[in-house]
């Protein structure tokens, strides 16, 4: 029996086919890129929710954290430029690969990066840094100069369906799925924030 593709997969495929056409107006290209981006985010949410119903141990291949981050930032380069956001990379290329699912890591980094972009409504700076806090872990920090998160909301941002965004702009599942994904990868995620100064998310992953 053939499996019917998920609706968001069809949308992504159609959008990417349009983007491969060379002769389309710039405003059309911008709208289709937005459709492509949001459909991919929806697809990640769907896969993230479904993944939590699976049981048993999973084996992971090695993932180069720096390369995953660079792929994500390259993918979102247009989005950053459109929002007048400068992305600064401080990546330690001496760190070894981690035992993790590279696609899941990519979903985590895309979600955190897009959250940072949305927090910087008038432009700003996103600092992406990697290092090793000790001999057995890799640390990733994403620090934005956005509006920050109020202290009474900071402790709830990983709760399902809780969102600090305006009505209609967020599902409240993105950070919940992000935390669950990091935990599936045997890592931890922490957040610090100051209103009107910015927010920093810190992920620590074991090497093996």
Lookup result for tokens 């709830």? 156
Rounded to 5°, the CA angle 154-158-160 comes to: 125
Q: What is the pLDDT of residue 49?
A: 52
Question: Beta 85-90 vs 124-134: how paired, if at all?
Answer: parallel
Residue-range domain boundaries for the chain: 1-56, 61-206
Instruction: Give CA torsion, residues 146, 173, 100, 36, to 10 deg.
Output: -80
**Rounded to whole angstroms, what are the CA distances from 84 to 19, 79, 94, 124, 182?**
23, 9, 31, 7, 29
What is the full per-residue pLDDT of the chain (208 aa) written as tens digits? 444 455 666 677 777 777 777 778 887 878 888 787 777 766 665 555 555 444 444 556 889 999 999 999 998 998 999 999 999 999 999 999 999 988 889 989 999 999 999 999 999 999 999 999 999 999 999 999 999 999 999 989 888 876 766 554 555 578 888 999 999 999 999 999 999 999 999 999 999 8
Q: What is the pLDDT of residue 45?
A: 57
Q: What is the pLDDT of residue 191?
A: 96
CATH number for region 61-206: 3.30.565.10
What's the sign of the alpha-carbon dihedral 90, 142, 109, 72? negative
Q: What is the pLDDT of residue 57?
A: 47
The SS3 call for residue 56 is: coil
Q: What is the pLDDT of residue 1?
A: 40
């Amino acid at each position: 029996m053939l499996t019917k593709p998920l609706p968001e997969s069809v949308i992504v495929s159609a959008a990417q086919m349009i983007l491969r056409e060379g002769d389309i107006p710039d405003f059309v290209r911008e709208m289709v890129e937005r459709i492509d981006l949001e459909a991919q985010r929806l697809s990640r949410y769907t896969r993230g929710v479904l993944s939590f119903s699976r049981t048993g141990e999973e084996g992971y291949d090695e993932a180069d954290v720096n390369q995953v981050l660079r792929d994500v930032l390259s993918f979102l380069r247009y989005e950053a430029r459109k929002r007048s956001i400068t992305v600064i990379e401080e990546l330690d290329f001496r760190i070894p690969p981690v035992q993790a699912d590279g696609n899941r890591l990519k979903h985590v980094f895309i979600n955190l990066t897009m959250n940072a972009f949305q927090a910087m409504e008038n432009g700003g700076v996103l600092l992406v840094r990697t290092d090793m806090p000790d001999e057995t872990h890799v640390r990733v920090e994403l620090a934005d100069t956005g509006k920050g998160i109020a202290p009474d909301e900071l402790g709830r941002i990983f709760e399902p369906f809780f969102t600090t965004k305006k009505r209609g702009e967020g599902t409240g599942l993105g950070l919940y799925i992000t935390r669950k994904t990091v935990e599936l990868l045997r890592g931890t995620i922490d957040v610090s924030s100051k209103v009107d100064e910015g927010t920093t998310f810190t992920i620590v992953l074991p090497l093996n």
